[in-house]
Each structure stands twice: as structure tokens, then as C-alpha cells.
Amino acid sequence: MSTHELYTTPVSRETWNVPLAGDTRFTWEYDEGRDKLLNLYQKGKDKQWDAVKRIDWSLDVDPDNPLGLPDQANALYGTPYWEKMSEKERGRLRLHLTSWQFSQFLHGEQGAMITGARIVETVPDLDAKFYSATQTMDEARHVELFGKFLHEKLELVYPINDNLRALLDDTLTDSRWDMPYLGMQVLIEGLALAAFGLVRDMTTVELPKQMLTYVMQDEARHVAFGRLALRDHYRQLTDTERREREEFVIEGCYLMRDRFQALEVWENFGIPKAEASRLALESEYMRIFQSLLFSRIVPCVKDIGLWSERVQSAYADMGVLDMSKADLEALMTQDEELADKLDAERFAAEEAGRREEVDTVIAEAAASG
């Protein structure tokens, strides 16, 4: 079935054409490179995996609660709108919210795939080109994975959110080679990584937990890549150049914060946009969720040197300034280790199941003999 048949509202079948910006850069230095980036490139090669084989797609998902979340995790919970809904309508709302969230993951991953390819073209250093080539493959796998989940398990897709589209447009149309890094690796990927982690840790459903755990193993490397590349480059910026990038970060973070209000879903359920925005802002769950979304972005922005009073003031206004104290290295290490732990648990369970089958066959053979 075509994706266009699953969209909640009609989406143009025309491609979204973003004009190319900036130079395509070749380098003739093939021997030298930064050890940390080359190590990251090696890890990127070692950690490639197949979304068809590593994920257990036979697992079922309840369309009335695809993530198995408590009702308190819904911004409408406790409001008159929620009280008026039948249980069937609440199930439909849970489906739409999950579809909206995973649709934005899908669209963001396509943006990351295209940006990864753009970085290969525009970045001047070969070690960064090497790593970004592996990231482009990672993002293709993520697009495949989220698309499969939406098509086969939810059978419902939302169009790209306006705020995400605007940030992608700003990221891809800037001619400066470092801006795709800043827009994608730091802002979009950093926010996505935090969102993935929140859903991974809250869901009680095995399939989305598997998907997000394995995707996050890749994404932890991607954010590390942006940090390594930009930290070196941003030490050399003039005050004007640094101020321009800080403006980009501030504007992008406000866009990303507002992106997760999911206003398109509420409108589909007859709630006016202004009222939906008010309810989202008043929801205790949404306030906590939105603040935690910046757990990866804020320390990363600080680490790469975009930490003026203006940036700090913006983060204070968003209520996320304290996130600058987060240990980014520890968070990234945990993201990678959880995927390895999940693999070990799954393979141990499968091995135990095979042993039990063999023991049963042997016992039956002995009894019949």
C-alpha cells in the first residue's frame, strides 16, 4: 500500500526540492586524520546491522495503545475533552499520537540521511567524509525501520511537522559547511535521541523498545561525530561567526520545543489549535517531557563552545538550563550498552527456548522407544 493512502491528511506527490547550497569539496590528503574521528568511523563500520533481521517483526502491537503507556502520559488526561471520550475514542487517540510521533521520527531520519550525504560532499576533511558516509547508511536503515513500523503495525502516517520542515530547510539551504552539522547532528539528532530515549524507557511494548534501543546505538555515534567536528572548528570562529551560529541554535531550539506539542493530532480530534497549545503547555507530563528533550542538546551546545549569555538566557527561558550539567559521555555510553544488553538477553532467551525444544524431542523419543 502506498504511504499516500495512509496519511491522515493529503500530501502532495511532488518531491520537496531543496536547492543545493555550498561547494562540493574534494581533498587529496588520504593518509592523515583525527584519531577520534577515525575510531568513530571504525565503530560505524563494525556496528552496521540489518533492520529486517535484528528486529523481531513478528511481535504484535495493540492499535489501541501501541506503546502501552499509562493514560497520565496523555496531555488530554484529566481534561473535559478526555472525560467526554469513549474508550474506543481514547484508543483511537493513542494510535494517532503514536503515529504522529513515529511519523516525525521517520521524516527526521530521512532528513538526517540527506544531510549525511550533504556533509560527505561539503566537509573539507576526509576523516569526516568517511564517518558521514557510514552515518548516511545508518539513517537509511532508520528510515526503513520506522517506515515499516508505520506501514505494517500502525497503518497510519502523519505529514512532516511544520517546525521540523522549517529547521530542515534552514539546515540544508545554508552554504556554510558546518551548518548541516549544527542543524542536524546537534539540534535535530540531539532532540531525536532524547525523544527516542524517553519512549524507549517508558514503553511496555517489546517491538518499539527494540527499535528505539537499536536506533539509539547508532544515534549516540552521530551526536558524538557532530561534537568532535564542530568543537575543533568553532575554536577558530570570529565573534560575528559565533554569534550567527548561536542565533541559529536559539531559533532552532524554540522550533524543536514547539514541534512536540503534536497540534496536528489535537486538530484531528476537533480541538482548536490555540486550545490544544494551551492544554499542552499546562500538562505536567508535557512540561517534563519537553524539558527532558533537551538533555542531549544543551550539554552538547555548551561543549562545542556556543555558550554565550544569550544562549544561556534562551535555555533558562525554556526551563532547560540545568541540562548543561548532564554527563553527555555517560548518556551516550549507556545508549550503546543498552543495545548490547538487549541483544544478550534476546539471544539467551532464544538459546534457552531451543534447548527446551531439544530436551522435549529427546524425552518424547525416549518415551516412545
- Cβ-based burial of 58 (10 A; exposed 0-12, middle 13-18, buried ≥19): exposed
What pLDDT is stored for residue 364 in this prediction? 60
What pLDDT is stored for residue 285 in this prediction? 79
What pLDDT is stored for residue 358 in this prediction? 53
Listed residue (235, 207, 87, 229) closest to 146, CA to CA: 207
pLDDT along the chain (369 residues), means of 10: 91 90 88 85 93 96 96 89 95 96 95 93 91 95 98 97 90 90 88 90 96 94 87 92 96 84 90 86 79 88 95 94 89 87 83 59 59
Which three-class secondary structure state does DSSP give residue 254?
A: helix
State which amino acid sits at residue 143: V
What pLDDT is stored for residue 329 in this prediction? 85
Q: What angle, 0 to 180 degrees and rounded to 10, lies between the N-to-C axes of helices 87-122 and 189-202?
A: 140
What pLDDT is stored for residue 307 in this prediction? 96
Does domain 3-9+37-333 bear CATH number 1.10.540.10?
Answer: no
Q: What angle, 0 to 180 degrees and rounded to 10, lies between the N-to-C axes of helices 206-234 and 126-149?
A: 160
What pLDDT is stored for residue 151 in this prediction? 97
What pLDDT is stored for residue 135 in this prediction? 94
- Cβ-based burial of 226 (10 A; exposed 0-12, middle 13-18, buried ≥19): buried
